[in-house]
Structure 1
Amino acid sequence: MENITENVTENIAANCSIDHRIHQTLSPVVYIFVFVVGLPANCLSLYFGYLQIKAKNELGIYLCNLTIADLFYIFSLPFWLQYVLQHDNWTYDELLCKICGTLLYENIYISVGFLCCICVDRYLAVVYPFRFHQFRTMKAAMVVSAIIWTKEMLTSWFVFQHGEVSKDSESHMVCFEHYPIKSWEHSVNYYRFFAGFLFPFFLLLFSYCGILQVVRKSHGTQKKKKVQIKRLVSSTVVIFLVCFGPYHILLVVRSLLEHSCVFAEKIFNVYHFSLLLTTFNCVADPVLYCFSSENTYQFFFKMGDSCLKWLRCLRIETMESYQLNTPETLRKNRAPAEQEEPGLLNKL
């Protein structure tokens, strides 16, 4: 019975005529922006994560893993860019489609996992600074990181059991797109919503509420520092909701209501816009968890100060060389010679 249902679903999907215009207009702009901005930003983030690991800080392990997941997805963006520019026609083999699709989806949930690790580590450090020290070690961070990667790879292996390249109504080979969604995708979507988004969101919210409560009661913390912590916490929650919230809500909506091509056509643009929002996570991660730290700020301040000093010295040298070549300078240089000329004439 399940095989018959699956065949019917595939036949309906083959007849779905969906307008992919959003892929030719908005998607290329987002992919190019994220690639150009996210690649150098994540490389710098990886460097600062390495410095933290060198300093025996367990946060460096989480930051490096988070950055590696972002870089993997960024390296797959050229393939997705070519895919959308060719009107959603996958010209490579199915294995590469599975790899790129896995990098797309695993970036979301590996990023969510390590964001939760970072916020829980901060929560334990601020709320319980002298307890749970065994959970804030380099060894514990490596074990947790291995668990997150293993869990997501097992989820990918389950998805790999199904074919991810299929033909649409225009005979284009589409990658990781089924309209309407197939029966096996329902359970995966519910798992992604509850385990991959809802539970981490409440964990994130609980941790940061605890941090804010302790910071508010602290009398030794400077007011400027408190404002900085509050902004960082609120920005993290907002970016988490903006990047991942719409996509996961639409996952549940599709699983509940998408049974025909009519609904798939209506929700296509909104769903893919929410999927593009998750891509901005690759830019938001290094900005929040690397460039917002005090050490990194001082590093860029020193580097900018050095550049300004170099430009100032270059400007002074240019002005001095310009002054040496001005007519007034030439006149002053000629003045002694002109004063000597009458004496020479008299002698003659």
Structure 2
Amino acid sequence: MADLVSGLLICLLAVQTIQHDGNRPRTKTNISSVVKPKTFKGWRNTLNHTNQLPARLHPSSNPWLYVNPEDPVTAYTTGILSTRVIPSTYILAMLVGVPSNAYILGFLRVRLRAKSVSTVVLYLNLALSDLLLLLSLALRVHYHFNGNNWIFGETSCRLITALFYGNVYCSAQTIACISLKRYLAVVRPFLYRRLTKTTLAVGTCLVVWFLFGAAVVPELLVRQSYQITQLGVTTCHDVLPLEEKSHSSLMQYRLMLVFLGFIVPFLICIYAHVAVVYHLGQSGCDWRAFIRVSTLVFIIFVVCFLPSGILHIAHHIRLFSSGDDRLYGYYRVAVCLCCFHSCLDPFLCLLVSKTPASELQFISLREIPQRPAVMT
């Protein structure tokens, strides 16, 4: 049935092309070629027949994409998952995360006077990244509640998409840097003491934001919004023609970003947490309270970031190998967990700082009594 519908659409496009050949110069544009978008299959249309737009679409110069009515794009775009569940999750994350991250920015700014300036700098970087991520959700909430119909223009679509995904990776990388710093303080304390901690922390944050820029620039350079004629909506980032020259390299680029922005930070966090817990467990001091809190923070990180990372990789592999796009809806739900992590970070930071062996004291080994078992 899908092949039949596809064939009919291609025939209709061919007939329209023949009818208009006499009214315009001949071009070499391939109108009816099938493309593989990031999410759902579509057909690229370069004709600008504004008088044939569905009722919900206003005449514009945005390119059209045709989709198969039986493909998952229709169920996703019109279903309750994308029009109610996802935006409601975003609203909840914003209501909790925006004020809490704003508060933690002020709280940590006061802590800059403490000795462990380097740790505070990393937490400030994390809070700033989380705040930008949550603020980028505002327009996407309207987009989803409006039936996945983007009305704010192409420029804002590119900007919001870049901020969203760039800050997801930025948060994961900053958490990995905090874990690595904790690992050096416990497992390699003599090396840690020789480091210029504040300079290293500032340099690390600059590297993280450089990677953030590398992640967002490609999203800013290509078109993100397309009109879906059958559904009467303009999607933002959800349907992209990756077989076109302007989008062809995005799939490989995004897989590389998943590797650098998620897999590497995730492996660093696993190794650092296991090593820290092991060394503290072997010491003669009672670190049980800190180990419990640190383990809770690590578990929340895994629960929030692991599903989206796995589904992102699996989605791109299936899309690249067979054109199967059915995992995209599940991936979008998993991304909501990353937003929840951004609103939980301030509470986790406060929780760690309130433990008997608070991280701000723990990181600065000069403030800790003799701990022979940890120092070895």
- Greater mean deviation of Cα atoms: 62-71 or 289-298: 289-298
The CA deviation at 1:242 is 1.7
- Within 2, Cα distance between the matches of 1:117 and 1:93? 36
- Within 2, Cα distance between the matches of 1:289 and 1:160? 32
Q: State the match for 1:243 in structure 2.
A: 304
Aligned counterpart in structure 2 of residue 92 of structure 1, from 152, 177, 185: 152
- Within 2, Cα distance between the matches of 1:293 and 1:285? 12
The CA deviation at 1:16 is 4.0
CA contact (8 A) 2:184 2:192 kept: yes
Aligned counterpart in structure 1 of residue 94 of structure 2, from 31, 35, 38: 35
Higher helix share: 1
Q: State the match for 1:233 in structure 2.
A: 294
The CA deviation at 1:249 is 1.4
Q: State the match for 1:172 in structure 2.
A: 233
The CA deviation at 1:151 is 1.8
CA gap of 1:135–1:110, structure 2 versus 1, over 3 A, is farther
- Within 1, Cα distance between the matches of 2:269 and 2:32? 38
Equivalenced residues, count: 291
CA gap of 1:5–1:70, structure 2 versus 1, over 3 A, is farther
The CA deviation at 1:141 is 0.9
The CA deviation at 1:201 is 1.2
CA gap of 1:4–1:50, structure 2 versus 1, over 3 A, is farther
1:121 aligns with 2:178: no
Q: State the match for 1:325 in structure 2.
A: none
The CA deviation at 1:296 is 11
Following superposition, which runs of at least 4 residues in structure 1 exceed 4 angstroms of deviation? Answer: 3-7, 179-182, 259-262, 295-298
The CA deviation at 1:83 is 0.7
Q: Deviations over 1:274-306 (max 9, x none)?
A: 1212211212211222333127999xxxxxxxx
- Within 2, Cα distance between the matches of 1:195 and 1:29? 30
Q: Deviations over 1:285-342 (max 9, x none)?
A: 11222333127999xxxxxxxxxxxxxxxxxxxxxxxxxxxxxxxxxxxxxxxxxxxx
- Within 2, Cα distance between the matches of 1:214 and 1:297? 15
The CA deviation at 1:41 is 1.4
1:15 aligns with 2:78: no
Q: Deviations over 1:168-209 (max 9, x none)?
A: 241311111126865423212321232111111111111111
1:187 aligns with 2:252: yes
CA contact (8 A) 2:161 2:219 kept: no
- Within 1, Cα distance between the matches of 2:31 and 2:294? 47
TM-score w.r.t. the length of structure 1 is 0.76
Instruction: Give the residue type in structure 2 aligned to 1:216.
Output: G
Q: State the match for 1:200 in structure 2.
A: 265
Q: State the match for 1:103 in structure 2.
A: 163
Q: State the match for 2:346 in structure 1.
A: 286
Instruction: Give the residue type in structure 2 aligned to 1:113.
Output: Q
CA gap of 1:46–1:24, structure 2 versus 1, over 3 A, is same
1:68 aligns with 2:94: no
CA gap of 1:136–1:27, structure 2 versus 1, over 3 A, is farther
Which structure has the larger Rg? Answer: 1
- Within 2, Cα distance between the matches of 1:5 and 1:245? 40
Instruction: Give the residue type in structure 2 aligned to 1:45.
Output: I
Instruction: For structure 2, list consecutive stretches of 5 or more residues without a partner in the other structure.
Output: 1-28, 36-41, 45-64, 359-376
Q: State the match for 1:53 in structure 2.
A: 112
CA contact (8 A) 1:42 1:67 kept: yes
CA gap of 1:84–1:209, structure 2 versus 1, over 3 A, is same
CA gap of 1:186–1:129, structure 2 versus 1, over 3 A, is same
SS in 2 for 1:92: coil
SS in 2 for 1:11: strand
The CA deviation at 1:92 is 0.7
Q: Deviations over 1:70-111 (max 9, x none)?
A: 111222222111111111111112111111111210121100
CA contact (8 A) 1:51 1:60 kept: no
Instruction: Give the residue type in structure 2 aligned to 1:8.
Output: V
- Within 2, Cα distance between the matches of 1:273 and 1:144? 31
Instruction: For structure 1, list consecutive stretches of 5 or more residues without a partner in the other structure.
Output: 299-348
Question: How is 1:248-263 mapped onto 2 (pairs within 5 angstroms)?
Answer: 248-258=309-319, 263=324
CA gap of 1:16–1:64, structure 2 versus 1, over 3 A, is farther
- Within 2, Cα distance between the matches of 1:296 and 1:192? 38
CA contact (8 A) 1:189 1:252 kept: no
SS in 1 for 2:217: helix
1:211 aligns with 2:276: yes
TM-score w.r.t. the length of structure 2 is 0.71
- Within 2, Cα distance between the matches of 1:296 and 1:217? 18
CA gap of 1:179–1:99, structure 2 versus 1, over 3 A, is closer
Query: Identity of aligned pairs, percent?
Result: 23
Q: State the match for 1:24 in structure 2.
A: 83
Q: State the match for 1:276 in structure 2.
A: 336
Instruction: Give the residue type in structure 1 aligned to 2:67.
Output: N
